[in-house]
Each structure stands twice: as structure tokens, then as C-alpha cells.
Structure 1
């Protein structure tokens, strides 16, 4: 019959079903054994740390290593050897197999099939009792068997070494060191046909079927399935398994029991037990140990910020004055009272479970009782509460221009409303100083979003930034945003200017600026003078500045650059060009070589380049008052020359007049 070895450290059990004493773990049974020999009636004062269900009797292991028995006695299966102190028990149909504290197998009860004839000197790690045979896992990893071998159940496979063994009714199983399973004995229904690739952590044998428990808690069954004993419940996760006569059972992590297979004796009818610590199966009934105190929850999961109700459950009614049971939670965001008092005569008391709101990811809290003065009393089954935290998000503009008056709209969203105001803060990933964030953004109680606004400063370089959303200092969401350069253009009143004159320059920005913008203007040409710095006023996008030029001998183009914001380093300057036009000069002045007194002559002024717009005025003068010339002559726009008339006075003799 299936059994597993307990750790060498034993646990003290408390007195059961005695209202005047504190609650202790109790042994419970389920189903109706056949024949009824009181094997389902454990002593009321038994404080067991392990139990084993046999065909005609039951056995329990106390913390001090002593053994309790009940049920049929005619085969001496209840005659415990004097002074026996054990660490593990297993019950067959009419015999009991024990592993004593010295590590040796001890058998008592029926010896009809020599199942009680222990080979001398067997040091063991584990014992397992079949229907009428015995198995031991020896300290060197080998397996020994004796007793009924009618189906080859004690014919150990040659060379077998194992880490765990199990005995069914007429077949045996073992887990090899590599994790694979060996099975031998009666195989009429395929109970020894181990599924390919099976690597379990535990095995169990029933009448004509076998069970295995994988490390992930899943259960595998094979062999006879006439009563559904191999139909493992979908999604079952277990910590222990046991097999009986055409039925199967498993202990879930939450301390409840799963049952499937035949129910002819009520062995698989709906079981209400909670807080179960250990299970053991026999022919038509099974038994278990229920914790002295444990807790359950009315919900398996809640949203962060919501609450649940827990219930402390005792194995026995509380004595006079009530029973105080401590409580703990391993999650600082899940709160339970330090203790709860179960009133006198009662077996349960409720307590509140509250959770803190959060958006830092789901978590699972372990809530458990703290009870008793010994390890045995303190053994419990913890309750698990999954806390689902709301998911937060933050969105904003896809892009924004540095230093502009544009405001960023920051929207914080939650996947569900909460019953309280939830406050978030904002930060910038890696870089700093790009944004002027609000102090916080609050999502009001009952809402799923909140808004805030931010502005953008001038930056040292444009490009993508990442905004972080924080709750209680933790980053819970991020959003990218592109920071665009504040672009501009440099223009002038006209694209060209006659050198020596002046004009006005303009810096036009692509967006109005949020704060006054300091702009540096640079021109490396000494023929042009501009102010070194100018300011674009807050809210404006244009600034003008004077441009003064010197005369140049030939046309030329002058470049000017403006620096501000992300282009202040010179990587992205704003560049403008102004064409300086050379001023025309006199190429020649010609007159006839002579003129008669009181006569007139025509002179010609020639320029080195075409006259500019509006014409070019040439000033004229004569060094001899006897030859009069106009004060000036205008060369028409686009022309290279112009004529003028000079008048001579009457003279007494010929004279030469220089110009």
C-alpha cells in the first residue's frame, strides 16, 4: 500500500477532540472500509505526524516516534513491538512495515505470506507495504522485497537502484536515479506499462493501476480504468498522490483533496476537508491528517486595493477562553491582523485581508497561521492570494519643438477604476532637463485616466526622449517622444545691397518661443557689421537686426549664421546670405582737345560697370573758370556712359584747361 518516508525530524501532534485543550492536528477518514473492522476509527487522542491506511487496520506515527494502531488485531497487526521508535510507516492488508530511528525495517502483523520475515541487517531509507508483501529501499539504493510473490511483485529487476519505491496490491514501482520509472509484478491491466518518457518525483500503486506525480504537480495514471481511476481531473496540480482499490486521490497545494474512480464505498464522494497535511489510501477508504490550525480565503485573487475575507479553521473546537491564532503575510502590501481569536466552542473565525493599491505587477501573497508551541502544532497549509495590480500607461504628443510654446498633454491611464485617488510622478530616462513636468498627475477615484501638462526646454541635441511614469518611486510605464529642432531662417530686406549701404536682417523661427531666446549672430566678413547677439522675446518668433556694409570693389556674397538652442554648438546653424554689390567707378572722362571762346563742346563720362538702379551720379568740376561744366551728370541705370555740355568763355588768347 502506498506510503512515503517522512523527514527524520518528527513533529509533535496535539490531543484531538478534547475541548478543554488547545486544538491539535487530527486524523480524519473518508469512505467505508470492507470488511468494517474499525480501521476507519483512529484513537480520539492521537496526535499523528504520519498515518498509513491498511486493509484491516490503521497506523499512526507520533512525534516521539512511537506508533499507534487501531482496527483488527487478530493478526497482530496492532501489536507494536515494545520500544519501537519509527520515522516512517506503511500498512499492508494485515501487516505493518516501519522504518525505525536506527534506519532498519521492522515488520509486525500477519506472516501468512512471510511478509513479516525481515531479512537480517537491512538498513533502509524507505519502506513500502503491499497487500501481502514488503519492500524496502536500502541505503545503497538497491531494493529488497519479501512476502507474497505470486505475481512477481517481489522479484526485483536485476541491477535496479532507486530513489523512491511504492507497493501496490500485487505490483511494485520504483523511481530510478535518472528519474525514469521501473514497474514489475502483476500486469494484467497494464499497470506496469509505464508511459514513455515519464519522469516523476513520486509514484503510487493501487489495485490494478498506477499513479505518478511530476515535479510540476501534474498527475499521470495508467493501468485499469474500468471505474475511471485513471481519469485524472483536468488541470489538477498536486503535492501528494495515493492509490486504492480502483480509485485515486491527490492532495492539492491548498490542502484540499481530489478524488476520482469508484465510489461504491463513498471513498470518492465530495470531500469538504481543508488544511490536509498528508493522505494515505487503502482498499475502500482513506485517511488524512488535518492541521491543528490553518486558514482559507473566500477569493483566490483580488485587484490591488481590494479586500478579501479569510477564515481561521481549527481541527477541534476552541477551549474555554477561546483560541488565539497568529497570522502572517509574506507580502508587505497584503495585510492581515496579527492574530484572530476563535471563540470558545467554535472551530472558525474570520479576519479581513486588505491590499495596497499598486501598479508594479501582479504578485501572490502567502497567508498562513502561526499556532502552537511545537512544530507539530505549527504545521499548516498556507493560503495563496493573487493580487492583480492595475496596469498604468502614459501617452503624450508624438513630437514637440524644443523651447516652443507648445504644451505637452500627458494622459495617464489605468486598466480599471479604483476606490481612491492614485498619484503618479514623471521623470526622464537617461537625460534630464528636457521637460518641465507637473509635480504630479492624479487619477481620481472612480476614474481610469488623469491629465497633466508639461513644457519643453531648449536642448543640446534634438532626437527621441523617453518619459517615465512612476508610482511610489517605481517606473510603471514609459512613452517615447521626438524632440524637434527649433528651426529658423535668416533673411534681409532685399537679397542684395549696394555695398557701403545698410539694410535690416530678420531671424524667423518655426515656432514661437516659450521664454526669451538668446541668439548669437556671426559674420566673418569684415565688410559687414551685425550685432553679436539679439533676443527673440517670449511668445514671439521674429527678431530684426541692423546690417551695415562697407563699399567693395567687386560683387560678393556674404554668409551670416545664427546660433541658439540645439544649434548653439554649431552643428545645426541657421545660415543666411546677402549679396554685396560693388559701387560703379569712373573709367574715363573725355572732351575735344580745344574749343573756341564762347563755344560749346560735348564731354563723355564712362563707368567701369553699368550704373545701378536709379542711375549713377557723377560729380563734375573744372579747374578753369573760363570752361564751365554742369555740377553733375547721371549715367542712366544699366548704362555705362553719359554725355554733358561744357561752355567756354571769351578769351584774348589760347589757353589750356586741365580737368
Structure 2
């Protein structure tokens, strides 16, 4: 699913139980708009005012701006929360639920965090994942999660849940057969229990049978099932207490650890993990059987690897400019907003230059990243007191005025990767009075968004002898 800035929701993929929300059970291989509540196909009205979305194994949730929640798709365990066990191909209102600030969808259950820091749960309860002190059966309307106050974020996994609290601690409940509750045991819990040895939690994420926590220092902890390396500690051994995720290129026991992380993602039936770096790149680890790590291979990874940009394989250029990440059972998604700090500098030789002599300008264009800069072009409007001789770009091509004239030199440099610099020369003959100066200016542009336009122009003055 995707939430657009205008508050509408679009979905695609398997739709056998109506989880796409377009009023049908037809699989969709391109995004379609999710219908409004009460609609039937073909829908004439569509869901609007949405601020957050969540996808379970076969059901979907949407949080609206008024604090209410709607749901659609499979409802065999009451995970739509509307008081029935009937599937719905369009959104239905979740009953008795208001003032919600965030939502999460597990495999067969759902969660909502309210503004007062309390949590509601509904759906399947076979392992105590509703957190109300009972085990077994299901609930088709929301129930209060016991002993949980001051929650700031929530996550729903396969059959377990996580909550971070405002004191930096984390709680977990539900299935614990792989240690995914992180309490040092493998005992299921039907009320929240504290995750061991974990403080300063900023956010959490829950996978099929593993859990992740981002700490305020930008490091990551993981616990639970590790059969595919999804804990990222260089092993495939389960852990029922948090372990620190290793850095890229490490082997167990690791001596360096992943840092600079701003967000985490995994899916309620996923065995892989994603981390978004503050610099806008992604690290991934765990199951890669269908390429969900995006590193150009199908090899599982027990420590993080960089994610390639689109169209790349093997030793690839990395995806950058990423602003958000999400993970499904066997796939991963990223929203990208590439930006590149392209800058230009001028130098001249010789200095001073004699009247009638040749002057060579070196135009240096550099991409300081973090993304690749597409369609880079620099323009050098030659001074009126020089005459063009030649231009020599280090890459690409230039449009030049006739020799002996004065006009603008335009050079197209193509794509410059992060950190790439080019030095381009322009030769002119000076026609100026001794004692005067020759003033030259150049500018650079790119079709990629530039966060720092103040260094997109340069000027140099050369004395004439």
C-alpha cells in the first residue's frame, strides 16, 4: 500500500480476500485507489483524509485525521474490528475506537495506539497477542491491552507485539517460541512484559518471529528468530534477549556496529530487516531468498549490506535519497527523494595575463551528494573583453561559440555520482587594456534537487598586464 500526500490510499498485489480495498477480489499488478467506506465496485468515492496505513498478511488498516480507523480484507479472526467475522473488499469502520495516533497490523490481529498512551488490540488471540490477560479465541472488536500506559509507538509481528514507552523502555506480548518477546525466556505472554536489557528506545519494529529496536544513539538491537540472519549479529542463532546489530562487512563476533540509523522496518510475516540511515541510504539483512535485501543477490545476509539503486546488480551503486522504508514478507519498499549538492569553482592561468595572450579557465564541477546528480550542465558566459579559442570537457560535450567571438559556452556533463568531480578547460584570448581586469562567471545546474544552491555559481577576476 501507499499513502499519498493528499490523504488517499493506493494498493496493489494479491487481492484474493479483498485486501487491496477496491471492491473486488482481483489481483492488481499496478496501484489502484482504495474505495471509501460503504462503496461497492466500481467505486465512485474513495478513501480520503488518511494519515497512516498498515498492512497485515491479508488485511489492511488506515488511520484517518479524525483519529478513527478503517479496515478491509480478510476478517476470519475479527482483525477488521467491526464486530463481524465477514471479509470486506472495501473499508469498514473499526468499532468503539477513537483518538488513535498510530496503527499496526499483525498477521491475523491489529493494534491501535491512542493519544492517552493506551493500546487497543483485536483479532486472533491464540498466543495472547491481544494482551488482555486471556489466551485463545479471537475478538472482533478492540479490547484494552492490560498494564500498558505511556506508550509512544507500537509494532505488530506475526503473532507478537511490541510497544515503546516514553521512558525509553519497551514491552512485548504474544508468541515467544523464538524469544521474540526479548524477556530472556521462550514463554508466551498474554500481558505485556518488559524487554530485557533495553533502554533509550526511540522506535520498534516487529517481524514474523523477530523484533527490532532503534535506540536514541542511532544503534539497533534485535532479538527472536535468527534462522535467516535477521538479527544481524553475524550468526543464525536465536536470541531471547536483545543483541546489537553489526556493521557492514563484519563477522561474528563483531567489533563494529551499525549506527547513524533514523528508522527501522520489517514485516509481520517477514524474516528480513531494514534500516534507514540518516544519510538517506539503506542497510538490509536476513532472508534474501527472493531478493528482498536489494543487494543484487539472492544470498541471505547475517550482517547488514547496502541496498543497490534501481537497475543495478552485483558491485552496484547504492540507493540514496531515501526518506522512508517499508517491508513485506518477501519484498521491500523505499520512498526516495534524491538530492545532490552540485558546486562549481573557477581558476585561471596565467595570472596576470598579458593583453593578446591566451587565458585558460579551469571549470571544476563537483557533486557532493548524497545522491547522484542527473543532467549536470554548466554555462560560462564569456567576458566581452576575451575571444573564444577552444573548450575541453573532461566528460560529455560542449556547445561553443565560433572561434574569435564572445558568447556562452554550455557543457553537458551527464550524470555525476556522489563525490565525482570534473575539471573542464576553456581557452580564450584576452582583448583588454593593461591594468584592467577580466571578470568571468559560470553557473551549474542539475535536474536533481539541490539542497544548497548558494554554491552553484562562481566568479573570478584576472588582472591584465
Aligning the two structures, in what range does the TM-score lie when normalised by the shorter sequence?
Answer: 0.5 to 0.7
Does residue 294 in structure 1 map to residue 339 in structure 2? yes
Q: What's the CA shift string for 1:206-239, capped at 9, x where partnerless?
A: 1111000000100000111222211222331211
Q: Which sections of structure 1, spanning at least 5 residues, go unmatched? A: 1-58, 298-305, 325-340, 355-368, 383-659
Aligned partner (choices 101, 104, 111) of residue 68 of structure 2? 104
Mapped to 1, the partners of 2:322 and 2:126 lie a distance apart of 36
Mapped to 2, the partners of 1:167 and 1:286 lie a distance apart of 17
**What are the within-5 Å matches in structure 2 for residues 194-209 of structure 1?**
194-209=195-210
Contact 2:111 2:119 in 1 (8 A): yes
Q: What's the CA shift string for 1:418-457, capped at 9, x where partnerless?
A: xxxxxxxxxxxxxxxxxxxxxxxxxxxxxxxxxxxxxxxx
- Offset of 1:294 from its aligned partner? 1.2
- Corresponding pairs, count: 276
Contact 1:313 1:347 in 2 (8 A): no
Look up the SS of the partner of 2:339 in the other structure: strand
Mapped to 1, the partners of 2:65 and 2:213 lie a distance apart of 28
- 2:386 is aligned to none
Q: Identify which range, 80-89 or 64-73, moves more after superposition.
A: 80-89
Instruction: Quickly say closer, same or farther: Cα 1:312–1:163, change in 2 above 3 A.
Output: closer
Mapped to 2, the partners of 1:342 and 1:281 lie a distance apart of 42
Instruction: Quickly say closer, same or farther: Cα 1:72–1:204, change in 2 above 3 A.
Output: same
- 1:464 is aligned to none
Whichever of the two has the greater Rg, that structure is 1
Instruction: Quickly say closer, same or farther: Cα 1:353–1:277, change in 2 above 3 A.
Output: farther
- Offset of 1:187 from its aligned partner? 0.2
Contact 1:105 1:123 in 2 (8 A): no
- 1:246 is aligned to 271
- 2:161 is aligned to 172
Contact 2:377 2:446 in 1 (8 A): no
Does residue 233 in structure 1 map to residue 234 in structure 2? no
Q: Which sections of structure 2, spanning at least 5 residues, go unmatched? A: 22-33, 37-45, 82-93, 133-144, 183-194, 234-244, 248-256, 296-306, 309-318, 343-363, 379-409, 424-443, 453-465
Mapped to 2, the partners of 1:294 and 1:226 lie a distance apart of 37
Instruction: Quickly say closer, same or farther: Cα 1:312–1:170, change in 2 above 3 A.
Output: closer
Contact 1:311 1:348 in 2 (8 A): no
- Offset of 1:296 from its aligned partner? 7.3
Over the residues paired in the alignment, what is the CA RMSD in angstroms?
Answer: 3.6
Does residue 219 in structure 1 map to residue 220 in structure 2? yes
Contact 2:279 2:370 in 1 (8 A): no
Instruction: Quickly say closer, same or farther: Cα 1:353–1:128, change in 2 above 3 A.
Output: farther
Look up the SS of the partner of 2:72 in the other structure: strand
Contact 1:113 1:148 in 2 (8 A): yes
Instruction: Quickly say closer, same or farther: Cα 1:296–1:93, change in 2 above 3 A.
Output: farther
- Offset of 1:197 from its aligned partner? 3.8
Instruction: Quickly say closer, same or farther: Cα 1:296–1:281, change in 2 above 3 A.
Output: farther
Contact 2:340 2:367 in 1 (8 A): no
Mapped to 2, the partners of 1:95 and 1:323 lie a distance apart of 48
**What are the within-5 Å matches in structure 2 for residues 486-505 of structure 1?**
none
Aligned partner (choices 100, 105, 125) of residue 129 of structure 1? 105
Look up the SS of the partner of 1:239 in the other structure: strand
Mapped to 2, the partners of 1:290 and 1:129 lie a distance apart of 24
- 1:548 is aligned to none
- Offset of 1:132 from its aligned partner? 1.6
- Offset of 1:342 from its aligned partner? 11
- 1:73 is aligned to 15
Instruction: Quickly say closer, same or farther: Cα 1:323–1:154, change in 2 above 3 A.
Output: farther
- 1:62 is aligned to 4
**What are the within-5 Å matches in structure 2 for residues 486-635 of structure 1?**
none
Contact 1:254 1:381 in 2 (8 A): no
- Offset of 1:123 from its aligned partner? 2.1
Mapped to 1, the partners of 2:283 and 2:377 lie a distance apart of 30
Look up the SS of the partner of 1:84 in the other structure: coil
Contact 1:175 1:202 in 2 (8 A): yes
Mapped to 1, the partners of 2:446 and 2:181 lie a distance apart of 44
Instruction: Quickly say closer, same or farther: Cα 1:311–1:143, change in 2 above 3 A.
Output: closer
Mapped to 1, the partners of 2:19 and 2:366 lie a distance apart of 48
Instruction: Quickly say closer, same or farther: Cα 1:296–1:94, change in 2 above 3 A.
Output: farther
Mapped to 2, the partners of 1:92 and 1:191 lie a distance apart of 18
Q: What's the CA shift string for 1:192-212, capped at 9, x where partnerless?
A: 022324331001101111000
Instruction: Quickly say closer, same or farther: Cα 1:206–1:257, change in 2 above 3 A.
Output: same
- Offset of 1:371 from its aligned partner? 9.7
Look up the SS of the partner of 2:292 in the other structure: coil
Mapped to 1, the partners of 2:213 and 2:108 lie a distance apart of 22
- 1:649 is aligned to none
Mapped to 2, the partners of 1:166 and 1:69 lie a distance apart of 21
Contact 2:320 2:370 in 1 (8 A): no
Mapped to 2, the partners of 1:104 and 1:370 lie a distance apart of 46
Instruction: Quickly say closer, same or farther: Cα 1:309–1:210, change in 2 above 3 A.
Output: same
Mapped to 1, the partners of 2:3 and 2:121 lie a distance apart of 23
Instruction: Quickly say closer, same or farther: Cα 1:296–1:246, change in 2 above 3 A.
Output: farther
Does residue 191 in structure 1 map to residue 180 in structure 2? yes
- 1:428 is aligned to none
- Normalised by the length of structure 2, the TM-score is 0.53
Mapped to 2, the partners of 1:381 and 1:243 lie a distance apart of 30
Displacement over 4 Å in runs of 4+: 306-309, 311-315, 341-344, 346-354, 369-372
Mapped to 2, the partners of 1:196 and 1:189 lie a distance apart of 17
Mapped to 2, the partners of 1:352 and 1:143 lie a distance apart of 52
Mapped to 2, the partners of 1:381 and 1:247 lie a distance apart of 33
